[in-house]
Amino acid sequence: MCKRCITKSVIKLSSGESLCKSCFLKYFEKKVRKTIRTNKLVNKKENLLVAVSGGKDSISVLQVLLSIYKGNKNVKISALLIDEGIKGYREECIKKTEEFCKKNKVKLNIASFKKEFGFTLDKIVKGRRPCSVCGVLRRSLLNSKARELGGTKLVTGHNLDDEAQTILMNQFRKNIDASSRLGPITGSENHEDFVRRIKPFYFMSEKEIMTYAFLKNLTQEFSECPYNVNSYRNQIREMLNKFEELYPGTKHSIVSSFIEILPLLKKKEKIGKMKKCKICSEPSSSEVCQKCKVLDEIKSSKH
């Protein structure tokens, strides 16, 4: 039974509290609002571009933002989707996203690997780690397209589970510099070529988002990228899920403790002015950005 209104519950939170549909939806949106407010993710005037994939996280974050800023003429919301070229998967995701955006009168912008880089992900994955290649190219394309579209912030659907996984991955790989760039809002606010990223779902668990998506009838099935199955992240994810099952609240503890030490990590981060890649002029921490390095490696392997 729901502890707040004594009706049938639909979810049991990691805190142990059970909530009914109505109370859960109120709890969910209130928690997202608090994340936005306390971390100053959205200013009074914004042009938000939501990075959508057709999955539960991105569609849900778009839905919540539309609800929160409904009628607010100073906060514009549109969507940006990256088509990597994954046959049998991305087409269906695009279809779902187009249907949602049309129904909710949201402008959908689509950019593709094929058009921007001259190949699809399917064509170049052989002998490579697809998630590593895709991640670099996708992040770069999201930033350049968001900037072209006049976006003031790029919204992603990253959640508590995602962040807990990334924190552990960076720890296992001794990648402290990468960890120092995590958090509810990332990127330099003073760099004209970089569109800052915000994560309104930073403290929402995957379970909560899945429940929200079902209750809001946003989607009835959840398909995952076929390349994710054997990824390093997926192995970390499975490990964390086992720990969460044995010790509820594990993921929340990882992220909460990380947030406490994040200011210290930022202070210890290597101080280096953000440069421009000498090849493509995109923001980069080194002479040549990761995107150009990946593209050069792909080009070289064809010869």
> Looking at residue 126, what is its pLDDT?
83
Domains and their CATH numbers in the chain: 24-271 (3.40.50.620), 273-303 (no CATH)
Mean pLDDT of 256-269: 88
Q: Is residue 227 pLDDT above 90, yes or no? A: no
Residues 124-138 as b or e (16 or more Cβ within 10 Å = b): beeeeebbebbebbb
What's the rounded mean pLDDT across residues 94-105? 94
Counting residues of the chain whose pLDDT is more than 90, the rounded percentage is 69
User: Are 60 and 218 in contact, with CB atoms under 8 Å apart?
Assistant: yes
Check: CB of residue 2 under 8 Å from CB of residue 16. no
Strands 46-52 and 153-155, how do they pair? parallel
Strands 18-19 and 46-52, bridge-based pairing: unpaired
Distance of CA 37 to the CA centre of its chain: 19
DSSP 175-240: -HHHHTT-SSEES-TT-TT---EE-TTTT--HHHHHHHHHHTTS-S-----GGGTTSHHHHHHHHH
Higher pLDDT, residue 44 or 222: 44
Q: Spell out the residues 6+ positions from residue 111 whose beta carbon is closer than 8 angstroms to its own.
A: 80, 81, 82, 83, 141, 145
Write the DSSP symbol of residue 16: S
Rounded to an integer, the average pLDDT of 93-99 is 92
Q: Which tokens hold the place of 282? A: 């995109």
Name the token pair of 217.
């009838």
185/48 Cα distance (integer angstroms): 13
Task: Write the pLDDT tens digit of every residue in 170-219.
Answer: 999 998 888 888 999 987 666 778 899 999 999 999 999 999 999 999 87
